[in-house]
Amino acid sequence: MSEFLIEIFSEEIPARMQVQAAEDLKKIVSDELQGRTLTFTSINTYVTPRRLMLLVEGLIESTVATTEERRGPKVGAPENALQGFLKSAGIKLEECIQREGYYYAHIEKKAQETRAVLPEIVKTFFSKMSWQKSMFWALKNGEKSQAWVRPVRSVLTLFNGKEVSFELPTLGITTGNKTYGHRFLAPQAIEVSSFADYQTKLEISFVVLDHQDRQTRIREGLESLARKEGLTLQFDEGLLKEVAGLVEYPVPLLGKIDADFMSLPGPVLSTSMRVHQKYFTLRDKKGNFAPFFGVVANIQASDGNAKMIAGYERVLRARLSDAAFFYKQDIEIPLEELSQKLHSIVFHAKLGSLGQKVERLWTLVNFQNMGQDGKRAATLAKADLHTSMVGEFPELQGVMGEIYALAQGENPQVAAAIREHYQPQGPNDDCPSAPLSVALALADKIDTLVGFFGIGEEPTGSKDPFALRRAALGIIRLIRENNFQDFSLESLCHEASEAYKTQNISFKNEFEITSVLDFINDRLKVALRGDGIRHDCVTAVIEGSKSTPYHYMPWAIAMRAKALQEFLETLDGQALLAAFRRAHGILKEEQKKDGIFYSGGRVARNQLVEGQELNLFDNIEKIISGRDALLKSHQYEELMSQLATLRPVVDAFFDLKVNHEDASIRAHRLELLGKLAAQTALIADFSHIEG
């Protein structure tokens, strides 16, 4: 059992690409090792701005010898098929055997020393690895390198304590056992003999190898500095991860913000610092923005970092001066005036301008009975997109709209709706609860979905350039988290489609509103599975609701699916499922044979004779009498419990011959089973339940 170490040392890798690169390295190398029968006990990756590193522990020292018989083409097959088979098998025709009219290749792979295989694995990684963006650079011989994220300076390959040296001509590098420390503090070459030696020497050379360790040092360091000033660090996980990908030797520092800038709105301060400078925000004991910022350097200076801090403060001063200018300029222009200019901004070439979108939002918010406040909120919702501040910081859309609206005397509910109608933008984002904010958020997202589906821009595969999946999940959260029990998306989507038609915006001929609604239901399936609800329960409810009013009611579907899963885990649930399956099995067979759907609507009590028939009919009718009230009050488990009590009555009914020789009796009995199945279908289509 041995240790294999790879390190790719390069110029700085963009922070946003580092974690994914480490995962790709792990997967490619793991697959290559396993594909060569090289087993190992563990595989881990590490990444810093200048190095991508992988450690394989417990790696066996040789591959396993294998024997394989591979069937080829038929005897007499075309020559190109035969040659392709011979090439893939690595043998000659005379080495094949013929059996049962086919060529067979007997392939033996001898065991190889792991050390001899590793160069091929490393080269395969370089050929398979892909980056979001890559570049070329000139090699020493004047040739162009292979594409890579940044110029590679060295590759360390170490197996069982000894270097594995080989050429990587496309990089102009010979691998070895050397790496390098911090660019400025310890730039000299370091010779290593094991992972423990590698990690120790890097630490001495001012490199913290582990990404999570760098995050911890940054956070704890900034929190400690903040406490000394009586402040708290405003935690920002995204910024923390990004900054940890910018430094190899994190040195947390505090700087001061000029008092002149503290009158700026908090979001302007924090966004200016975060986006351009990667600075952290601090707050005082009252929760207000403090006149300090946190920053992380990549070097420890001999003067106690005084010059660096002064430099950070100077750069921030210039940034905040720009922000202050934008803010002063924007706040003097009424939002309503800015809203009128939105007709000059294209929403989408086929969907008109932002001004037209605002007009559609009026329609959809009015459809939800939001009155004058609704029209006002819709009118101003997108106005801040025409401001200098949002032009500089797009992430402040909505936020600046609220700030400007309040400063200009708008109703606080209207101002809040301007900010909140963009929410929720992800699973961790806040979900609006104020009625006006929710109505505007639903209008915005549904308008977007209907519009892009209407022009044929649905998401395909992993591609979703207009964030339509996020919009659908946002709609689902708005409805579920605000307990909109009887809210149907169908009517609002139809209203959105009509609003586009009113503006003479054309959709593709084959467009149907159901494509949008089904897309939202597909996202609902994903959301419910994320909540731990079984996929078959979700599918059973959605499929069972197709002919019901609640088919496009996310809250009702979610509650039914949750109730169904919980009920099926009980004895009553198993009884109901067994009764349904027995009835469904017969109905499915006979309906297929007869070409008739037995729904239960064509059977009356006076058509039945036997006691078992009458007993089943009466018990079903008893449940039906209270059924609608239970459904209206969303007491799904109670309805299912009542249906489960039919199990012994159903069993007794099956003592009769359902497929009776008398066609009339047979039809009545099948209708009676259809009547039973129709009651369970009001909750779900039980045929989709697995197990």
d(Cα 198, Cα 530) in Å, to the nearest integer? 41
Listed residue (580, 535, 538) closest to 561, CA to CA: 538
Enter the CATH code of domain 335-523.
Answer: 1.10.3210
pLDDT at 65 over 90: no
* 396 vs 606: which has the higher pLDDT: 396
In this predicted structure, what is the pLDDT of residue 9? 98
For residue 335, name the pLDDT band (cuts at 50, 70, 90): very high
Per DSSP, which regions of 535-663 are E strands?
A: none
Q: What is the pLDDT of residues 389-421, one digit of tens each?
A: 999 999 999 999 999 999 999 999 999 999 999
d(Cα 69, Cα 95) in Å, to the nearest integer? 12
How many other CB atoms are there within 10 angstroms of residue 167's CB atom? Answer: 12
Fold assignment, 564-688: Isoleucyl-tRNA Synthetase; Domain 1 (1.10.730)
d(Cα 194, Cα 199) in Å, to the nearest integer? 9
Q: What is the pLDDT of residues 621-663, one digit of tens each?
A: 999 999 889 988 889 889 889 988 888 888 898 888 888 888 8
Q: Please report, for the chain, the start and end positions of each structural domain, with discontinuous segments joined by +.
A: 2-62+114-204, 66-109, 211-331, 335-523, 564-688
For 104, the enclosing helix (H) or strand (E) is strand 102-109
The matching CATH number, chosen from 3.40.50, 3.40.91, 1.25.40, 3.30.70, for 2-62+114-204 is 3.30.70
Q: What is the pLDDT of residues 31-42, one digit of tens each?
A: 999 988 899 999
For residue 185, name the pLDDT band (cuts at 50, 70, 90): very high
Mean residue pLDDT of the chain comes to: 93
Listed residue (338, 473, 318, 342) closest to 400, CA to CA: 338
- Copy the structure tokens of residue 391: 């032009």
The letter for the amino acid at 79 is E
pLDDT at 1 over 70: no
pLDDT at 234 over 90: yes
Mapped onto helix, strand or coil, the DSSP state of residue 70 is strand
- pTM of the prediction? 0.82
* 583 vs 227: which has the higher pLDDT: 227
Q: What is the pLDDT of residues 79-120, one digit of tens each?
A: 999 999 998 888 899 889 999 999 999 888 888 899 999 999
Listed residue (105, 103, 66) closest to 88, CA to CA: 105
- Asked if 291 contacts 259 with a C-beta cutoff of 8 angstroms, the reply is yes
Fold assignment, 66-109: Alpha-Beta Plaits (3.30.70)
Mapped onto helix, strand or coil, the DSSP state of residue 460 is strand
- Asked if 659 contacts 589 with a C-beta cutoff of 8 angstroms, the reply is no
Listed residue (164, 245, 150, 122) closest to 2, CA to CA: 164
Q: Do domains 66-109 and 564-688 have the same CATH topology?
A: no
Per DSSP, which regions of 380-499 are E strands?
A: none
